[in-house]
Amino acid sequence: MLKRVLIAMSFASVITLAAPCHAADQWIEIKSPHFTVVSNAGVSPARNLAWQMEQIRSALATIWPWAHLDLDRPFIVLGAKDEASMKALAPYYWEAKGSVHPTSVWVEGADRYYLAVRTDVKGEDYRNLNPYLTSYFSYVSLILSQSVPKPLPLWLHRGLAGVLSNTVTSDQQVQVGPPIPDYLRSIREGPRFRLAELVTMTARSPAFRGDDMYRFDAQSWGLVHMLWFGDKGAHAANLEHFIDAVVAGGDPDKAFRESLGTPEALEGPLNVYTSRNIFGFKDLQVDVSVKRDAFPSRPLTTPESASLRALFHCAMNRLPDARVAIDEARKAGPAPESYVAEGRLLDRGGKFDEAQAAYQHAVDEGTTSPFAYRRLAGLLWRHPPSHDDLTQIAKLLSKAIELNNRDDYAYAMLGEARSELGEHDGMGFVRRSISLAPQRAEHHLSAARVLARERNFDGADKEVQAALALAQSDEERQRVREFTQWLEAARGRGVS
């Protein structure tokens, strides 16, 4: 799977551990094939940012041909022209004395994924180092999560995300995986986990907390980097075999030993590897099919830009800031997306009747937010729905899918609604949700409910077992147990 691309690399990086390190503006929108960039920095910087994102995506497609690169919700890049603009978007990072002022911020909103970056950060100030490391880590991690049917071992997932987070673009080439000075510093100067402990840790391990999380990420990066690039790629095929075995459902500990050897045997080589000053990485040519000048641009109206900033503030949990932006949007003219933001505020406050009214207002005014339609459907389904309610719910969910055909939650809900209405195509929609998000336990519960309604109790039981295997939290496991009890009772009486 990874063999062809893991083995090919360049060796050109010498480590130096001291890496040098407003709202009223006109905002414009740039549309590239896979990203939307909204910026107050002007057309040229915004187009360049879109081009860089497309190059990163193209590099991921080359390195991981099996990756699912199309996300489950829209991806918005906010290009802030300077530090003042970034501060206005993400004021939290400027409020505490001595806090780090980021060059990029990644946040997952219910409606979209958001990446805010400063466009005035110069690449030459970050030689062989992506200035947006932490945000690209989140992006790569997201791609990994949606590309495999079950979670990868934590060290592998975060190690791969760490290596790929340092992808550096220029007009001529894309560098994938140059060494990260801060990770090396952490490995060299701080305490280390034993490899036998590192490769068995999970997100619930007590050691995976606070500063130890960074230590874990640094060492996981070091292990993946050595297995991928060390000894001129001599271990890359073994890493590929390990990944294939785990993705196929094999036991991670057994697969590790069979593919890579024992953790104890790798301890010494890893210490030597992370002590060196010269590291390999991969060089790719830029995707010449991606043309900056071909990306269309348009100025945003004040209602559009203010509504977008309101939604970003909602995702950042900056509710008073969101309210200010909502008011700004509405004072300037019709602003359907501002009602989506208001719905998010009301959702956060538990005011679900008012949130429902806000989303309905957004829909009535012609919002293009797929989330608004799906969330309104969910709020209509808070109580046992009538046939007319279910018909309206199905209509809203169909519109959500029309606007975003990768919304796995909308497919799952639509499948259940169609099943409730007595239609026979419900399971197809639920299966689509599972194919889009194979790691989400709740979609298997949706499948179990549809199958139980069809009195296919054996099939429902298999879906329940799949949900239990995928459950990541105590809350999810409790929901599975509760449904198991319901299913056992349903077997005895039948379900209509």
pLDDT digits (tens, 9 = 90+) for 198-236: 999 998 898 888 878 999 999 999 999 999 999 999 999
Is the residue at 362 inside a domain? Answer: no
Write the burial class of residue 359 (CB in 10 Å: 0-12 exposed, 13-18 middle, 19+ buried).
Answer: buried
Is the residue at 472 inside a domain? Answer: yes
277 and 306 belong to one structural domain: no
Q: Which of 256, 277, 293 is the last residue of a domain?
A: 293
Report the C-alpha dihedral over residues 225, 226, 228, 234, rounded to 10 degrees.
Answer: 170
Closest of 436, 417, 435 to residue 425, by C-alpha: 417
Residue with tokens 């999380």: 213
Q: In what order do the strands lie in the sheet with 113-118?
A: 104-108, 113-118, 75-80, 36-39, 28-31, 297-299
| Dihedrals phi, psi of 98, to nearest 5 degrees | 80, 10
Angle at 223 between CA 219 and CA 226, to 5 degrees: 135
305 and 271 belong to one structural domain: no
User: What b/e string do you get for 300-325 counting C-beta neighbours within 10 Å, with b at 16 or more?
Assistant: bebbbbbbbbbbbbbbbebeebbbeb
The domain total for the chain is 3
149 and 257 belong to one structural domain: yes
Is the residue at 170 inside a domain? Answer: yes
Q: Which of 350, 369, 390 is the last residue of a domain?
A: 350
Question: Tokens representing 36?
Answer: 């939307």
For residue 369, list its beta bridge partners.
none
250 and 186 belong to one structural domain: yes
148 and 202 belong to one structural domain: yes
Give the per-residue pLDDT at 62: 93
Give every residue of the chain whose pLDDT is below 50, as ranges: 1-23, 124-125
330 and 280 belong to one structural domain: no
Q: Tell me the chain's radius of gyration from C-alpha atoms.
A: 24
Q: Give residues with Cβ within 8 angstroms of 438, minimum separation 6.
A: 148, 149, 150
Give the per-residue pLDDT at 99: 87
For residue 50, list its beta bridge partners.
none
Domain of 490 in residue numbering reads as 440-496
167 and 253 belong to one structural domain: yes
**CA-to-CA distance for 95 and 98, rounded, in angstroms?**
9
Q: Give residues with Cβ within 8 angstroms of 112, minimum separation 6.
A: 73, 74, 75, 76, 311, 315, 371
Is the residue at 400 inside a domain? Answer: no
Residue 200 is which amino acid?
Answer: T
Is the residue at 358 inside a domain? Answer: no
333 and 266 belong to one structural domain: no
Is the residue at 388 inside a domain? Answer: no
Q: Is 0.85 surpassed by the pTM of this model?
A: yes
Inter-CA distances, 233 with 136, 228, 255, Å:
24, 6, 20
Q: What's 41's domain CATH number? A: 1.10.390
235 and 306 belong to one structural domain: no
Is the residue at 384 inside a domain? Answer: no
Give the per-residue pLDDT at 358: 98
Strands 75-80 and 36-39: parallel
13 and 88 belong to one structural domain: yes
Q: Which of 274, 293, 312 is the last residue of a domain?
A: 293
112 and 204 belong to one structural domain: yes
342 and 444 belong to one structural domain: no
Residue 393 is which amino acid?
Answer: I
**CA-to-CA distance for 478 and 482, rounded, in angstroms?**
6
CB 307 within 8 A of CB 329: yes
